[in-house]
Structure 1
Amino acid sequence: MIRYQPPIADIAFALEHVVGYPEIANLPGFEHADLDTVVELIEQCGEFMAEVVAPTNQSGDSEGARRQPDGSVMTPTGFTEAYHQYVEAGWGSVPLPEEFGGGGFPRTVGLIIQEMMTSANMAFALCPLLTQGAIEALLHYGDEDQKKRYLPRMVSGEWTGTMNLTEPQAGSDVGALTTRAVPRPDGSYALTGQKIFITFGDHDMAEQIVHLVLARTPGAPAGTKGISCFLVPKFLVNDDGSLGERNGVHTLSLEHKMGIHGAPTCVLSYEDATGYLLGGENLGMRIMFVMMNSARLSVGMQGLAVAERAYQQSLAYAQERRQGLAIGATGVDSAIIEFPDVRRMLLTQRSSLAALRYLMLLDASYVDRSTNDPDPAARARANEIVGILTPICKSFGSDLGNELTSLALQVHGGMGYIEETGAAQHLRDVRIAAIYEGTNGIQAADLVGRKLGVRGGASVRELLATMREISAELAGAGPEFDTIREELGRQFDALEQATEWMLRTGQTDPNAVLAGSTPYLRMWGLCTGGWLLARAAVAAPATGDTALADSQLVLARFWAEQVLPQCTGLLGAAIAGTRDLFALDAHQLAGQASPVRR
């Protein structure tokens, strides 16, 4: 496996010329995070991730996390040492509030740090990612004592955090959970139940783990309305901040997974464990969505990050591997990079990575606008755009993560299927991203069910109108941009047609809208990717870097001509409705005749 190279130049270009980061740095509270400072910071961070974290990736996959006979959990060799260096360097605290020891940098910068850490080692990066989600929940809903007691050491990374949602009978249907929380006279609660799929639910990288656990109090309403959220530390915390006795939470087992072997995925048992109510009774779903919305953009970024590492490896292999003789070549053989189909796979990866990076950073930039813009109207509009872009980022990012890592493996040919090359690990690791933090089908349902109808559809129409403004810029950029402009126009028309159908049909047949939601979300991903690549191509000549301008034009044109046309092809599926989806029963789907009813 080759050495990971953080794509600093690509990130810096995206910040300055595509997603408008200088405007973010001018917002109140971000004055210290100017572009030059941020580029210097991410250069140092990238070096750390490449030198300290990346070497643990393949060995961590081979060794995996292990549950010891005493019930404790050990991470792979090198994880603990790398994590302690990560905490000492302060990388996790960069985008967190200064009030609790953070750097106060924008979320956009935090997402870049997450990308590089995930490229270095996705399994390792999951621990800080989940801790950030727990921190977000505490910031929004914790009382002053809870914030003072837990946040400084969670922000520093000395303590880590988890999200405990899933139970054996309650996966995506969170309302089916049965974990109980019984109030005690001292104001705490006794929690009893079992949680599954808890990433870093126990480990040896930090001395304390702060679990945020969804549970029901006595007499709570049924379903999601009766869910509360509780803070349950692995060790009770004394009044002086020191760690006290072990709490009643234990690891029953670790899951044996397809990938991310270095990240312990725990089955946790809560047995009369001491917990503290967060926010108030029956607010669990609100708090969960604070955690989930924070995590969903990060999970979309995981698709980008792992695909970036896989692309770097496949590009190096394509230059080294010699086999056959390319047309027009002389000599005994050619590097496989000289063959058209290998070039197609490499350029598909390269253009997709650029599109995803622009999309993820654009969403993050609107998160920063939604929190720090002094204009209430601008904050409200930014929040609407975040609502639209986040399910697209999560689904499109993780779907492309699967597709691009598969392409990277394909470039390796038979050697990609051999574990020692490391190509297969990327595909195995990233596969979970389309599943957790809300499956991609749930993201599509969120887009059409909640986000599409905001202000009667005006919100999404305004975003599409903004995207169409690129046409005039492309027209003025020169004839070499013509095919990009023409293809974007065609695909925007298809997306608009699907959008209007969704808005119209959703009022009378919501099931039909849900039936087409996944291809519809994909249409949005393709179009936003093409739009942002076009923005990059138009902006690049102003840098004075001819090679950069040429490459950005090629990426935008390749996407427009060879990737973007998939959008029109998805229109039929997006507006097909439910007729054929429910036309066959389970026996017919299995190729069997339906049982005769007597």
Structure 2
Amino acid sequence: MPQYNPPLRDIQFVIHELLEANKTLAALPNYQDIDKETINQIIEEAGKFASEVAFPLNQIGDKEGCTRNEDGSVITPKGFKEAYQQYVDGGWPSLSCDPQYGGQGLPQLLNTVLYETLNSANQSWTMYPGLSHGAYECLHAHGTDEQKKVYLEKLVSGHWTGTMCLTEPQCGTDLGILKTKADPLADGTYSITGTKIFISSGEHDLAENIVHLVLARLPDAPKGTKGISLFAVPKYLINSDGTLGARNQVTCGSLEHKMGIHGNATCVMNFDGAIGTLVGEPHKGLNAMFVMMNAARLGVGMQSLGLTEVAYQNSAAYAKERLQMRSLTGAKEPEKAADPIIVHPDVRRMLLTQRAYAEGARAFAYWVALMIDTELNHPNEDVRKDTADMVTLLTPIVKAFLTDNAFAATNEGMQVFGGHGYIAEWGMEQYVRDARINMIYEGTNTIQSLDLLGRKVLGDMGAKLRKFGKLVEAFIDEQGVRKEMQEFIDPLADIATKVEKLTKEIGMKAMMNHEEVGAAAVPYLRTVGHLVYAYLFARMAKIALNNKASGDSFYEAKLATARFYFEKLLPETAMLIRQARAGSKSLMAMPADLF
């Protein structure tokens, strides 16, 4: 009984009114001819595919899951293969890929919109093409000419899919202790041996071949992360004429039985002397893999945006129909046995929390996507560098803040449904289960927090953070004189000042004790995440105020959501800042044997 309608009006608002994307794209040689009408047509078609093709398979995939046969092959849920073929036939895998390899050469921004709608519709199914796009980006950036010739056109077209194989039974985040080995062969290829676990889309029946990007160690590899190399290992070997050859020695040993994302095949992959080719330089595999890892982190943020949106839509629809009790100020629909639960303040709090997190995430994710387009395509090197610094700073926040908020939002949705939220047929409990994984994989949210505070902020003495701070300061200076903007500008300026002070304080403590970074990292990331949202909601509020006289209820709702965010969600930062300042003493005082 769940429903999903692509939020086209808000998508268009973010792209055209908030970001004014066409102005940015006009400065990028590859995108100068892309107009507003083209953008709208693409996002409408993307939404149609998501809602009409992928969404009807979501509950089917959750119920059926994937099946592993005795020979190690995997069958995806009913309808998944046919939907993937429609996806390929529609040209969707090639949307933002290089035209040299059959891509359409459209902006990353549009690919981001596509993935939002797909993840709202069916996160498990979307992971198959999503990982393939990451594999394409990695090989496009670091592959040899031969690898590009062999793999890229097939990945771009969607006829082949891709995976990233990092995790092993003994190592997840700490890749320095991985054991998979790569032995050189006389013909220049390598024999890959080892076991990888938790490999999403590791084996399936959607495409004719799968390209595994595998981290492994060469015989002369130094210890730790400086001894890791990256290899392209296909499921089927490729003949010199490009046709598929013999089956490579890589198989799915088992499927993980998971809490959520049942429709995606999460595999234990065994490499038993599988033939692979080196990607990038020896012992520098993490440098190459980070292209795919960063793409995956942004992709997980999009998964959480998608789940937040679809959970909100279903919660709001239910709250308008479900009758329970009377309004505290008197019956709102006296002709009925009770009022719809949307009259109750706390139900509205839950709905507005979901809505604010969805709208904030959309603005944030699209903004970062547009910056990626600038980073990769702007003719001015200084602009590219400045934008790259911003993307580097914001990527861990996209991953962690959006996924934390999505889990909160789906839980709020489950609460709106009450007992029905616990029942599978309504769909809400699946969204809760699916959202939970997003906080874990592609680097847990604690890892993202350590990355933000330790590497991205303190690592360069706050230089990247100051670049973002200048954007906030400029907006405050511009809008601070407007009386009607004070309710947004004052709290924005307040949190900006507090983040600056908190950053300096933690930096000073960290020089004396590195554990202060670990103790402060998680509340620090959420605090900076709120600073980003406060900046974006203030910008959205400005646009809504400028259009207030139009009578368009969209702007009325946007303004109401912004006010809710500033009054009810941003105050979380008071607690977070106190937690970050509390330091590591109480965390580290208890001896380990007393736990």
Distance (whole Å) between structure 2 residues aligned to residue 237 and residue 423 of structure 1: 44
Shift of 1:92: 1.7
Q: Unmatched 5+ residue regions in structure 1?
A: 590-598
In structure 2, the partner of 1:138 is 139
Distance (whole Å) between structure 1 residues aligned to residue 432 and residue 425 of structure 2: 14
Shift of 1:574: 1.4
State the AA in 1 paired with 2:14: A
Give the one of 373, 384, 389 matched to 2:389: 384
In structure 2, the partner of 1:413 is 418
Distance (whole Å) between structure 2 residues aligned to residue 521 and residue 6 of structure 1: 30
In structure 2, the partner of 1:39 is 40
Distance (whole Å) between structure 1 residues aligned to residue 460 and residue 586 of structure 2: 32
Does residue 548 (structure 1) correspond to residue 549 (structure 2)? The answer is no
Query: In terms of mean alpha carbon deviation, does 310-319 or 483-492 score higher?
Result: 483-492
Change (3 A) 1:401 1:48: same
Distance (whole Å) between structure 1 residues aligned to residue 567 and residue 254 of structure 2: 50
Give the one of 374, 378, 382 matched to 2:379: 374
In structure 1, the partner of 2:211 is 210
Any idea what SS the aligned residue of 1:114 has? helix
1:85-484 residue pairs with structure 2 within 5 A?
A: 85-326=86-327, 327-329=329-331, 330-331=334-335, 332-453=337-458, 455-479=460-484, 481-484=485-488
Q: Unmatched 5+ residue regions in structure 2?
A: none
In structure 1, the partner of 2:18 is 18
Percent of paired sites with the same residue: 44
Distance (whole Å) between structure 2 residues aligned to residue 32 and residue 252 of structure 1: 49
Does residue 569 (structure 1) correspond to residue 575 (structure 2)? The answer is yes
Shift of 1:550: 1.7
Q: Deviations over 1:282-326 (max 9, x none)?
A: 111101211111111111121111111111111111111111111
Any idea what SS the aligned residue of 2:192 has? strand
State the AA in 2 paired with 1:546: D
- Paired residues of 2:545 and 2:559 also in contact (CA < 8 A): no
- Paired residues of 2:410 and 2:432 also in contact (CA < 8 A): yes
Any idea what SS the aligned residue of 2:586 has? coil
Distance (whole Å) between structure 2 residues aligned to residue 511 and residue 461 of structure 1: 24
Does residue 9 (structure 1) correspond to residue 13 (structure 2)? The answer is no
Shift of 1:506: 3.4
Shift of 1:275: 0.7
Shift of 1:455: 4.7
Q: Deviations over 1:315-351 (max 9, x none)?
A: 1111111111113212421111111111111111111
Aligned residues: 588
Q: Deviations over 1:141-200 (max 9, x none)?
A: 111111011100100111000000000001111111111111110111111111100111
Shift of 1:529: 0.6
State the AA in 2 paired with 1:313: N
Shift of 1:453: 3.5
TM-score after normalising by structure 1: 0.96
State the AA in 2 paired with 1:403: A
TM-score after normalising by structure 2: 0.97
Shift of 1:454: 5.6
Any idea what SS the aligned residue of 2:282 has? coil
State the AA in 2 paired with 1:559: Y
State the AA in 2 paired with 1:99: Q
State the AA in 1 paired with 2:468: L
- Paired residues of 1:452 and 1:460 also in contact (CA < 8 A): yes
Any idea what SS the aligned residue of 1:204 has? coil
Shift of 1:430: 1.2
Does residue 518 (structure 1) correspond to residue 522 (structure 2)? The answer is yes
- Paired residues of 1:494 and 1:568 also in contact (CA < 8 A): no
Shift of 1:502: 2.8
Shift of 1:443: 0.6
- Paired residues of 1:159 and 1:208 also in contact (CA < 8 A): yes
Q: Deviations over 1:457-482 (max 9, x none)?
A: 23212312321333344444443x32
State the AA in 1 paired with 2:314: Q
Shift of 1:68: 1.2
Distance (whole Å) between structure 2 residues aligned to residue 445 and residue 456 of structure 1: 15
Give the one of 582, 588, 591 matched to 1:582: 588
Query: In terms of mean alpha carbon deviation, does 491-500 or 481-490 score higher?
Result: 481-490
Distance (whole Å) between structure 1 residues aligned to residue 207 and residue 408 of structure 2: 35
Distance (whole Å) between structure 1 residues aligned to residue 305 and residue 491 of structure 2: 25
State the AA in 1 paired with 2:555: A
Any idea what SS the aligned residue of 1:168 has? coil
Distance (whole Å) between structure 2 residues aligned to residue 304 and residue 338 of structure 1: 26
Shift of 1:568: 2.1
Distance (whole Å) between structure 2 residues aligned to residue 306 and residue 285 of structure 1: 30
